[in-house]
Amino acid sequence: MSDTANEIPDAFAAHNAPALSVSEVSAALKRTIEDAFGFVRVRGEISQPKVASSGHCYLRLKDENANLDAIIWRGTYSKLGLKPEEGMEVIVSGRLTTYPGRSSYQLIVEAMELAGQGALLKLLEERRRKLAAEGLFDEARKKPLPALPVCIGVVTSPTGAVIRDILHRIADRFPRRVLLWPVKVQGDGAAAEVAAAIAGFNALKPDGAIPRPDVIIVARGGGSLEDLWAFNEEIVVRAAAASGIPLIAAVGHETDWTLIDHAADRRAPTPTAAAEMAVPVRLEQLARAAQFGGRLTQAITRYLDEGRIHLQGLVRGIPRLDMIVAQKTQDLDGLAERLAQGPQKLIQRRREDLVALGARLNLDRFRQDLTRTDRDLKVSAERLANAAKRFFADTGTRVTTMTARLESVSPRRVLERGYAMVWDAAGSPVTLAKGIATGDSLKVEFADGSIGVTATGAAPTSAAKPARSGTKRPREVPGQGSLL
């Protein structure tokens, strides 16, 4: 009995415990979990990251044995330097809480970092392959640097030693105008500021109040992989690849490589080396200019000397002027002497030729030839006159005959026999009555003139046949009407 008596009060006590509502139990669990896990650091692999339209990011952290739901509120997500990606191994910091609506618990993420150097290098290599496949690192798209820029844009921190080294190096080599676009080079928001600075320099107008740089230097001092991570972000790499202004990347030390180094037009091992790439040494340029000037002077002098020697050689081949003049003067004297004697000799020679011809000429025979020729001409002229008379007489007879024939067939002779010709308003002859309509204006031409008439009555049809009778009806002129 003692055992039974002891069990009854325990059961009775259980049945008399106050009943809690579901909300009260959920609230108690929520307080307990939040008090016990107010701050935790969890390491795991990101799975199914998704950004909702509200701006909150939902994801899962998993390992080989369990899953943990997590959420990053919109305000925290926008400040994260590292955006969650599928398969990324991270360490997140935050607090655990419950979600009573689904009887589940979740982690509210407040900070995120990659889990170790190996994870960073793995992510970096995957991102490098992805961007290289898009052609952002191709050598063909890289632009040459200007020989001597007028203005240089620098994207870096305004407080570090980097900007001082760049300014000092440019001032030593070749003083140029430098525009600084101050940005954060590490931590949250650094990548967005660097990308905005590159795009901002490209957006400047060449003739604006702020000059557009001829070359851009993106620089940062050395640091760990995590410190330089902002220059491995896609937004920075894409901004560098899209820059229309030649860009020099000078991030870290000589052994430090970031993705912006692949996308930039030139990569400098240090910020100081970037300044040396941007501008030449002024004294060296002056020395080169002086050297080129000396070489140019030597070339001109050598060209003039060669021309002088060539000209002297040509002069030696030209005869002396006094000798040419003396020879021509002598020739002129000889021609003048010959010219003075020429007319007399010519007249004498022609006189001798005339005397010889006169001796050979027979005047009697010449007169006989003239008489015979004159007689032949008279006979020919008489024959030509008779032939012309006969030709004109025959031609006149043919013309008279043809004229008589033409007159016999002339329409005017027909009109004189009592016929008339009818013309329409266009001046064309009318030959058929069926082509005339009532009211048409016509012109009737007689032998002594023409009159205008208007057509009345209907034209005969083609089917109508003339009446067969012994008497002939008088012929009527179409449109004129009958006079009987």
Q: Is residue 296 part of a domain?
A: yes
User: 3-class SS at 263?
Assistant: helix
Tell me the residue type at 323: M
Q: What is the pLDDT of residues 197-210, one digit of tens each?
A: 999 999 999 888 89
Rounded to whole angstroms, the Cα distance separating 332 from 314 reads: 29
Residue for token digits 């007249």? 347
Query: Are 241 and 132 contained in the same domain?
Result: yes
Q: Report, as an integer, the average pLDDT of 237-259.
A: 90
pLDDT band at residue 458 under the 50/70/90 scheme:
low
Written as six digits, the tokens of 429 are 């002859």
Q: What is the pLDDT of residues 290-341, one digit of tens each?
A: 888 889 988 998 999 899 888 888 877 777 767 777 778 888 878 887 777 7
Query: Are 129 and 158 contained in the same domain?
Result: yes
- 38 vs 56, residue with greater confidence: 56
Q: Report, as an integer, the average pLDDT of 150-166.
A: 91
Query: Are 31 and 83 contained in the same domain?
Result: yes
Antiparallel, parallel or unpaired: β 57-62 and 40-51 = antiparallel
Q: Is the pLDDT of residue 235 over 70?
A: yes
Q: Look at 144-158, 232-246, 366-380 and tell me which has the smallest mean pLDDT.
A: 366-380
Rounded to whole angstroms, the Cα distance separating 231 from 216 reads: 15
Angle at the Cα of 215 (from 212 to 221), degrees rounded to 5? Answer: 120
Distance of CA 2 to the CA centre of its chain: 107
- 266 vs 17, residue with greater confidence: 266
Query: Are 309 and 371 contained in the same domain?
Result: no
Q: Look at 3-7, 168-172, 263-267, 384-388 and tell me which has the smallest mean pLDDT.
A: 3-7
Q: What is the pLDDT of residues 85-136, one digit of tens each?
A: 887 888 889 999 888 878 888 999 998 887 766 666 777 888 888 899 999 8
Q: Is residue 86 part of a domain?
A: yes
pLDDT the model gives residue 374: 86
pLDDT the model gives residue 470: 44
pLDDT band at residue 465 under the 50/70/90 scheme:
very low
* Domain housing 231: 123-280
Q: Which of 111-120, 338-347, 435-444 has the highest mean pLDDT?
A: 435-444
Burial class (CB in 10 A: 0-12, 13-18, 19+), 219: buried
Q: Which of 88-92, 129-133, 152-156, 373-377 has the highest mean pLDDT?
A: 152-156
Q: Is residue 357 part of a domain?
A: no
Query: Is the distance from CB of 105 to CB of 98 less than 8 angstroms?
Result: yes
Rounded to whole angstroms, the Cα distance separating 180 from 219 reads: 11
Query: Is the distance from CB of 141 to CB of 135 less than 8 angstroms?
Result: yes
Query: Are 74 and 174 contained in the same domain?
Result: no
Tell me the pLDDT of the chain averaged across its residues.
82
pLDDT the model gives residue 118: 65
235, 262, 280: which is the final residue of a domain? 280
Residues 6+ apart with CB under 8 A from 229: 81, 82, 120
Q: Indicate yes or no: pTM above 0.95.
A: no
Q: What are phi and psi of 440, to 5 degrees?
A: -65, 145
Q: Is residue 218 part of a domain?
A: yes
Q: What Rg do the C-alpha atoms of the chain give, in angstroms?
A: 63
115, 133, 148: which is the final residue of a domain? 115
Residue for token digits 């990548």? 191
Q: What is the pLDDT of residues 401-411, one digit of tens each?
A: 888 788 777 77
pLDDT the model gives residue 290: 82
DSSP letter, residue 448:
T
Rounded to whole angstroms, the Cα distance separating 170 from 150 reads: 12
| Percent of the chain residues topping a pLDDT of 70 | 88
Q: Is the pLDDT of residue 484 over 70?
A: no
Q: What is the pLDDT of residues 179-199, one digit of tens each?
A: 999 999 988 788 999 999 999
How many beta carbons lie within 10 A of that of residue 16, not counting itself?
A: 7
Query: Are 197 and 130 contained in the same domain?
Result: yes
DSSP 256-311: ---HHHHHSSEE-SSHHHHHHHHS--HHHHHHHHHHHHHHHHHHHHHHHHHHHHHH
Rounded to whole angstroms, the Cα distance separating 152 from 67 reads: 52
The number of folded domains in the chain is 5
Distance of CA 397 to the CA centre of its chain: 87
Query: Are 136 and 251 contained in the same domain?
Result: yes
Distance of CA 232 to the CA centre of its chain: 36
Q: Look at 241-245, 417-421, 442-446 and tell me which has the smallest mean pLDDT.
A: 417-421
Q: Report, as an integer, the average pLDDT of 144-154.
A: 92
Q: Is residue 478 part of a domain?
A: no
Query: Are 203 and 247 contained in the same domain?
Result: yes
Query: Is the distance from CB of 72 to CB of 80 less than 8 angstroms?
Result: yes
